Amino acid sequence: MLTQDQELVADTARRFSREVLLPGAAAREAARTIEPDVIRGLAEIGLLGVTVSTDYDGAGADYVSYALALMAIAEGDGAVSTMMSVHNAPFCAILERYGSEEQKQQVLKPAARGEFIGAFALTESHAGSDASAIRTRAVRKEGGYLINGSKQFITSGHIARYAVVFAVTDPENPKRGITAFLVPTGSPGYSVTKTEHKLGQKASDTCSLALDDLFVPESTRIGAEGDGYRIALSSLEAGRIGIASQSVGMAQAALGHAIHYAREREAFGKPLIEHQAVSFRLADAKTRVEAARQLVLSAARMKDAGVACLEQACMAKLFASEAAEAVCSTAIQTFGGYGYVEDFPVERIYRDARVCQIYEGTSDIQRIIIGRGL
């Protein structure tokens, strides 16, 4: 039940995913990088500014279209979908909602056109789920701020041209004392100290950052002093819809590979899929994927309608991320020993999907928020 525009976005993303991303996913993982040609390709079809207004050179699409696009891209390569997700929301979404007109003209417009990738730098080594516990400090200096601290697990921290960085400007007020800044990553004092070696999504760089006497002019501040915590939390709906979407995409990819294999592989004189034990397992997996998809699209429709949907986004993210691991495990079981080796893609997809229960709020955090509404 999609509009023509939504179908067009989904079809375009699906074609790009199948023709460009899927054939190169294994090589991309081995190289631990996303090729510039892939980023340019995403930009050309409007997937690096999906929901950004056309006034700021975005595609001006709705969140249902965004969710469908992320599902399709994740079906081809989960690592690429993570880069795309963070760039769209929170990076572009925060700039469009809270950025100054100068920031929108100089940074949001080229970001929405896909001329560069953006990052979101909130998490620190001791402050993951508890964002109010960050220790990075921003001290007022003449004409701007001097930032000192570090960030951990920052997606695209190495390839990003700009990062939305959060720092404490009032240490006496943990939640209302945090401020957001739009930091060019080429600034003196901004450095990548480590690129993490991860279980999955190896093509998407995840970095530790050091901010040493990093001076930023006052014009880089996003919103007012003390608005940072509110700005960070404002991206939760879109961010969780995004991670739920990519969970669905990776689960769908694993299920598709498993169904294809079960139809081709024979055991005891007939295709695997004709054995009830296998078909029932795949039927359960298909049901999980569809349930997750509908939770995501429901939250996205609420977002488009301007209705508060944090609880629905949390439920979608919780269910979809856990369903993705279960479906990927089912796919591996269907392949048998072949599913456990790198020759077949389900091994990689299983590893890529596991982090969806961790970033953008762990499953425990989703349950806490859902529980508050009981």
Pairing of strands 137-141, 144-155: antiparallel
Catalytic site residue from 96, 322, 347, 360: 360
DSSP helix/strand/coil, 325: helix
Is residue 364 exposed (0-12), middle (13-18) or buried (19+ Cβ within 10 Å)? exposed
Residue 49 corresponds to which tokens in the numbers above?
């500014």
3-state secondary structure 55-92: HHCCCCCCHHHHHHHHHHHHHHCHHHHHHHHHHHHHHH
Please calculate the CA angle 146-152-158 and round it to the nearest 5 degrees: 80
342 is catalytic: no
State how far the alpha carbon of 74 is from the alpha carbons of 71, 102, 242, in Å. Answer: 5, 33, 10
Is the distance from CB of 147 to CB of 220 less than 8 angstroms? no
Residue 226 sits at φ, ψ, to 5 deg, of 90, -5
Q: Which residues are catalytic?
A: 360
